[in-house]
Structure 1
């Protein structure tokens, strides 16, 4: 299974009910995550349900126990135990699945990005925003905050010197922007060396970079990544997976998005409304 196939598989097994609500079958997800026997997958679901409870969510909203018809070896069908899973349930499951499997690592990034996207869309503060400028200011603040957390995680991993951190950041950009580093992105967008990239990103591009920063931070801490080379590779891989998710959703690649006006020139009215 290649890294190009895995995100597509997660979307391929996504289902919708008669009301248009998306969900995943636990048995389908188990197969994608390479659990050959469902009984070995059930403990993972149990851990995910507990994590859901601990997060303050109603388990019943995300995990619905049911039976579904499954084709068995003889070609006949049999009603077997399964569960209807929300996107958040899938996120918790991949966080508790076998991390040694490549497809699990891909799933962790895929569902984390998707879950984060839903969170932003559902945030009361974000939903009050009416203009592109307001969204840009909000997401620019999110990126600044998450970059600070990412810098702390990178330092713990061994990225200490300023030059090393610049290299680390470029690896994230190269993953997300199809191989382009910060200099190449500026050239592509017609920006000067002195112009700060995030200050000229529109809301979609800022959101993609927020996802990149949050998921790299999470992965560095969760897996106790140590060493500059491993940290750089991790940042690149997460950036590439965020890119794959954008492609999966039919979005525009970030390097093809036009540069926006310097965020510092946005009227004070937009900033005041966010306070």
Structure 2
């Protein structure tokens, strides 16, 4: 994984870095993520996906099987080119195989007629897909695209009520944000170990960063304030917004440690404190004080629930009939 600080160095000129970081802080404070779509937007997407849902008879003829066609799904997911969409389908098929699941139960190559100019028609390749197949396809798409972020929740749930989809999307957003913080802290630890700071020093740097972000409250203060066991990481109980704020401050530290070639605990601590202060100030301008936000559910429980739901997708997704008329 390439650290975001490294990406900044590659694509952002030095004089533009502060604007980029300011924009990110603004996005963090306003939680401008597709995963936080409002109910109205979710209902709009739900209608679009429901409109391309088809039903065919199962092998026993006693129930209906939900299916989608790739050509229609391509459009709703925002793919402009069929060739690009087939790449995601191919990856989904490989993912299905890697789980030792019969591909033919969920992916079926079919043909359809498309209209051309002057009333002409042409036969093209298409795919009939189950809910599980559609879910795998969205997992191999770009979650930064609103349609794909939504679709991951839509196909993950058997009951597609807007509130449940919204809850699922928010849970996934929090898990991904927590993963990004882990990655940026791991990168910071590598950076500072090369610059004369040991494990204890790293712990002190992180703690002083927390104190700056939370307005003078130490990491232990915040654990007591939020009712968190001293042995558990504070970030595992923070809301998505606060985790994202911590991650941004850490990425800023990563960037400046490298750019300024900082060395030693004192200079790196000062840098990390300043970055957390900057993030806190930007949040404060929008009336947000991180220390006053309520705790979130234990992220370990969220991880288990999301993982459990994902394991159920294939089992609750009806298989394609062996013969399709």
User: TM bucket by the smaller chain?
Assistant: 0.5 to 0.7
Q: Tell me, which stretches of 5 or more residues in structure 1 are unaligned?
A: 1-51, 56-91, 98-104
Residue 190 (structure 1) aligned with residue 227 (structure 2): yes
| 1:157 alignment partner, SS class | coil
**2:29–2:241 contact (8 Å) kept in structure 1:** no
Superposed CA deviations along residues 206-260 of structure 1, whole A, max 9, x for unmatched, are 111111111111111111111110111111000000101111233x211111112
Which protein shows a greater Rg? 2
The aligned counterpart of 1:135 is 173
Say if 1:217 and 1:272 are closer, same or farther in 2 by CA, change over 3 A. farther
Residue 231 (structure 1) aligned with residue 150 (structure 2): no
Q: Compute the displacement of 1:157 (Å).
A: 2.9
Q: Compute the displacement of 1:199 (Å).
A: 0.9
The aligned counterpart of 2:250 is 213
Counterpart Cα distance in 1 of 2:241 and 2:172: 13
Residue 125 (structure 1) aligned with residue 116 (structure 2): no
Counterpart Cα distance in 2 of 1:107 and 1:232: 23
**2:28–2:245 contact (8 Å) kept in structure 1:** no
Counterpart Cα distance in 1 of 2:310 and 2:242: 20
Counterpart Cα distance in 2 of 1:267 and 1:164: 30
Alpha-carbon RMSD across the aligned residues, in angstroms, is 3.3
Say if 1:175 and 1:267 are closer, same or farther in 2 by CA, change over 3 A. closer
Map residues 162-177 of structure 1 onto 2, 5 A cutoff: 162-177=199-214
1:96 to 6, 11, 15: 15
Map residues 27-42 of structure 1 onto 2, 5 A cutoff: none
Counterpart Cα distance in 1 of 2:310 and 2:214: 29
Counterpart Cα distance in 2 of 1:111 and 1:227: 30
Residue 264 (structure 1) aligned with residue 303 (structure 2): no
Q: Compute the displacement of 1:106 (Å).
A: 6.8
**2:196–2:265 contact (8 Å) kept in structure 1:** yes
Counterpart Cα distance in 2 of 1:274 and 1:143: 23
**1:157–1:231 contact (8 Å) kept in structure 2:** no
Greater relative contact order: 1 or 2 (C-alpha under 8 angstroms, separation 6 or more)? 2
Counterpart Cα distance in 2 of 1:117 and 1:256: 14
Which piece of structure 1 moves more, 220-229 or 260-269? 260-269
1:181 to 218, 222, 227: 218
Q: TM-score, normalised by structure 1?
A: 0.55
Say if 1:267 and 1:143 are closer, same or farther in 2 by CA, change over 3 A. closer
2:186 to 148, 161, 168: 148
Superposed CA deviations along residues 122-175 of structure 1, whole A, max 9, x for unmatched, are 794254164332221111111111111111122233222x21111111121112
**2:171–2:302 contact (8 Å) kept in structure 1:** yes
1:113 to 5, 21, 25: 25
Map residues 68-107 of structure 1 onto 2, 5 A cutoff: 95-96=14-15
Q: TM-score, normalised by structure 2?
A: 0.48
Say if 1:224 and 1:263 are closer, same or farther in 2 by CA, change over 3 A. same
| 2:33 alignment partner, SS class | helix
Superposed CA deviations along residues 186-207 of structure 1, whole A, max 9, x for unmatched, are 1221222122211111111111
Q: Tell me, which stretches of 5 or more residues in structure 2 are unaligned?
A: 1-7, 36-141, 154-165, 312-325
**1:113–1:215 contact (8 Å) kept in structure 2:** no
